[in-house]
């Protein structure tokens, strides 16, 4: 799984354990997802290019320092669960622009259907990070990324908390150019499409809708 990065940081793993636990309530679940997104932001941006600049400090007039250079970042949460990862990312990348993609599953074809897309006008110039806590069958993320490419996106990464191997495989087939960043790669999907052991329905747990 060459373009899959499991962010095996102790803090991420510790917090993910509490996110998974069934007794974790909405408030804590939300806070933990937020915190893990912040920690993942740190890792997913590790290879962003930097350039050297000349600055003055209170001590010297000619210090060399580094700033981010090149492409700017765009965040694209997939509605609705992806919204839970936005604030955590924005803590680290405050200038990021944010696009949204909404998809629902057609009850007959079971295929994802786009119902809402609003993107920054310059997505072709941005390094886009698609946010969705769960990469289960891969259907929504694959469709969302098709939609971004159709609108001109060129550089896309996918960031999820938990993935199933089935979803990762389909994503790699559909979009081999998209690197995938995860907090955990789980065992499998069950017959209802839940990730095992997973964390349940991420949207319901974030928004207390169950």
- Per rule CB under 6 A, is residue 112 in the interface with ligand URA? no
The stretch among 20-28, 61-69, 177-185, 201-209 that binds ligand URA (CB under 6 A) is 201-209
Nearest residue (CB) to ligand URA, 91 versus 209? 209
Residue 136 assigned ligand-binding role: yes
Say which of 26, 45, 105, 179 is annotated catalytic.
Answer: 105
The stretch among 30-38, 48-56, 89-97, 190-198 that binds ligand URA (CB under 6 A) is 190-198
Taking Cα atoms as reference points, which of 1, 93, 78 lies closest to residue 46?
93
Residue 134 assigned ligand-binding role: yes
- Per rule CB under 6 A, is residue 202 in the interface with ligand URA? yes
Q: What are phi and psi of 109, to 5 degrees?
A: -85, -15
Is position 30 annotated as part of the catalytic site?
A: no
What is the 8-class DSSP label of residue 61? Answer: S
Q: What are phi and psi of 117, to 5 degrees?
A: -140, 125
Using a 10 angstrom Cβ sphere, with 0-12 exposed, 13-18 middle and 19 or more buried, the burial of residue 117 is middle
Kind and range of the H or E element at 174? Answer: helix 165-174
Look up tokens 């559909």; give the residue: 174
Positions annotated as catalytic residues are: 105, 109, 201, 204
State the residues that interact with ligand URA by CB under 6 A.
81, 134, 136, 193-195, 198, 201-203
Which residues sit in the known binding site?
Answer: 80, 105, 132-140, 195, 200-202
């Amino acid at each position: 799984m060459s373009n899959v990065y499991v962010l095996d940081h102790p803090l991420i793993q510790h917090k993910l354990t509490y996110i998974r636990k069934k007794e974790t309530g909405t408030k804590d679940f939300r806070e933990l997802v937020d915190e893990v997104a912040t920690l993942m932001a740190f890792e997913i941006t590790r290879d962003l290019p930097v350039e050297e600049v000349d600055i003055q400090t209170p001590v010297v007039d000619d210090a060399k320092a580094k700033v981010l250079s090149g492409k700017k970042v765009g965040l694209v949460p997939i509605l609705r669960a992806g919204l839970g990862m936005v604030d955590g990312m924005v803590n680290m990348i405050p200038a990021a622009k944010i696009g949204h993609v909404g998809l629902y599953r057609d009850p007959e074809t079971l295929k994802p259907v786009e119902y809402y897309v609003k993107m920054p006008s310059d997505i072709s110039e941005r390094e886009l990070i698609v946010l969705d806590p769960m990469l289960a069958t891969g259907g929504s993320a694959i469709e969302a990324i098709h939609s971004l490419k159709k609108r001109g996106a060129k550089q896309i990464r996918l960031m999820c908390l938990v993935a199933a191997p089935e979803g990762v495989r389909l994503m790699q087939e559909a979009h081999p150019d998209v690197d995938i960043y995860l907090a955990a790669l789980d065992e499998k999907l069950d017959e209802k499409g839940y990730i095992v052991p997973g964390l349940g329905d991420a949207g319901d747990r974030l928004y207390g809708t169950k």
